[in-house]
């Protein structure tokens, strides 16, 4: 396994890391490795959703929420009025001159 050197860590941050490691009863190295794994390893396979909240609202709360978000389902026709074509033009990229 490769080694990693950590430079430029201020004393206050190092003290907090040591404190957390002591509380968890692990080495500073183990704490850092675990933290990096939690943050960066296998992110694509994890999916965090709102399943834990499913079924926690009462019927009255659900109806109140539905009423509150109902306006977001309405389409404002004024927003879909055609704009002048000039608003949609994109300037073509200039090609560099050919070398001879």
Say if 93 falls within a structural domain.
no
Say if 21 falls within a structural domain.
yes
Say if 89 falls within a structural domain.
no
Say if 20 falls within a structural domain.
yes
Instruction: Return phi, psi of residue 79, to 5°.
Output: -75, -15
Quote the pLDDT of residue 63.
Answer: 94
pTM summary value: 0.42
**3-state class (DSSP) for residue 39:** helix
Q: In this structure, is the dihedral angle defined by the CA atoms of residues 59, 62, 64 and 67, taken in order, positive or negative? A: negative
Say if 92 falls within a structural domain.
no
Question: How do the pLDDT tens digits run along the chain, 100 residues long?
Answer: 788 888 899 999 999 999 999 999 999 999 999 998 888 876 556 666 777 777 888 899 989 999 999 988 888 888 777 666 655 666 777 777 777 7
**3-state class (DSSP) for residue 75:** coil
Say if 2 falls within a structural domain.
no
Boundaries of domain holding 60: 11-42+53-80
CA atoms within 13 A on the CB side of 100: 0
Can you state the angle between helices 28-40 and 11-24, rounded to 10 degrees?
90
């Amino acid at each position: 396994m490769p080694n990693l050197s950590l430079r430029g860590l201020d004393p206050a941050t190092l003290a907090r890391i040591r404190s957390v490691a002591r509380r968890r009863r692990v080495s500073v190295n183990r704490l850092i490795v675990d933290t990096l794994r939690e943050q960066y390893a296998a992110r694509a396979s994890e999916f965090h959703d709102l399943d834990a909240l499913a079924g926690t609202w009462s019927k009255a709360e659900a109806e109140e929420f539905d009423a509150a978000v109902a306006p977001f389902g309405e389409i404002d026709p004024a927003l879909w009025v055609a704009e002048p074509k000039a608003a949609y033009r994109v300037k073509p990229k200039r090609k560099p001159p050919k070398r001879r």
